[in-house]
Structure 1
Amino acid sequence: MKTTIIPFESKYAKDFAYLNIEWLEKYFTVEPHDADLLEQCEETIINEGGYIFFAKADTEIAGTFSLIKMKDGIYELGKMAVSPKFQGQKIGQQLLQFCIEFSKGQNWEKLILYSNRILENAIYIYSKYGFKEIPMEENPPYQRSNIKMELVLQNRKSSINIDSV
């Protein structure tokens, strides 16, 4: 089986929603913020400067993730899901590796993600790829979140603005 990572196309919007809803309903519930992102992914993610990618196993969509723009150079890695049919085949790790390489190629500063500690395997993999736990804000975007992690992609040296000297 050959797995390739492909960018978003409108014809895959239903796959994006289905994979994530399937995953969310297994462990949690679909929150209003999830529903907005999943049901209107082109408007809420793509058209707002974000990205969605898919893992395609031969001809089938096996997994997905999104990069949701928070502000210039800082994106939330979100909505990552792999179909139960394809779990255990390292597709999630392939998606994560692609995500990091893509983000570095964009010269972004960092990636943020929100997760839950019951997802021990996911937290382990994020840590393995360099994500570090950081303090959670008072009102995170997802009620289920009890851990926030970041991956610093480049250390931006603070530059002195000549006008302010």
Structure 2
Amino acid sequence: KYCKIYNKFGKCHKGSKCPDLHDPEKVSVCTRFLRGSCTITNCPFSHKVTKDKMPTCIHYLRGMCVRVNCPYNHVNVGQSAEICRDFLAGHCSMGDQCKKKHILVCPDFSQTGSCFLANNCPMRHVRRKQKRSENSFKNRSPGNVASKKDVR
């Protein structure tokens, strides 16, 4: 089996003593490289764009991707799809055929709104936007009108 630490970070503290496979082709893609800002000499992360390492294009999911030859995966997954833990570990063998989200956020926080690692979690914690019901606007009395600050 592949070493999840090596796949995720491009290095493993166990080195050659690690019982798992260290395959450079399975190392996660460098997010700085994707933004065009990686200046690290001998960066441990991959600078190869392949479907099994690429995040899902958030602009595509919103129907707004206008990039010609966009390197990100253009895959429709449902809003309720869970986050792919294989992708977070650096490599998902399903690539753009995977039915889970390939995004770089904490899967525990995304599902439950909490993470046992709290501030020590290396992943981003993103809160889902709550939809306001139409009734919250209809039930307001004329004297209780929301200010611009209240409505977002």
Q: TM-score, normalised by structure 2?
A: 0.25
Higher strand fraction: Structure 1 or Structure 2? 1
Bigger radius of gyration: 2
Higher normalized helix content (fraction of residues): 1
Structure-1-length-normalised TM-score:
0.24
